[in-house]
Amino acid sequence: MKARLFTGWTITRALYLFIGIVFIIQSVISNEWLGILIGTYFAAMGLFAFGCAAGNCFVPNAKQKPTSELDEIKSE
C-alpha cells in the first residue's frame, strides 16, 4: 500500500488529488454535503491511483488482422 501511495505519480494523478481537495474545501464552505462525497472520490482516485487517475482509461486502437484473403486485397 505504501508503494502505491508514494510511487507512480503523474500530472494527471496530482491533478485529480488537487481538484478533489479543492472540491471538498469549496463544498464545506458552501455547506454542500453531496459535493464532499464527490470531492472525496476524486481525491481518493488521485491518492490511491485507481480509475482514470492511474491511466487505465486509455485504450489504444488495436490493428485488426484481415480475416480472409479478400479482406487482405481490399485493404491494399
Q: What is the CB neighbour count within 10 angstroms for residue 58?
A: 6
| SS3 annotation, the chain | CHHHHHCCCCHHHHHHHHHHHHHHHHHHHHCCHHHHHHHHHHHHHHHHCCHHHHCCCCCCCCCCCCCCHHHHHHHC
The C-alpha cell at 62 is 488495436
pLDDT tens-digit series, residues 16-75: 999 999 999 999 999 999 999 999 999 999 898 888 766 666 555 566 555 555 555 555
pTM of the model: 0.66
**Integer Cα distance of 6 and 57 in angstroms:** 21
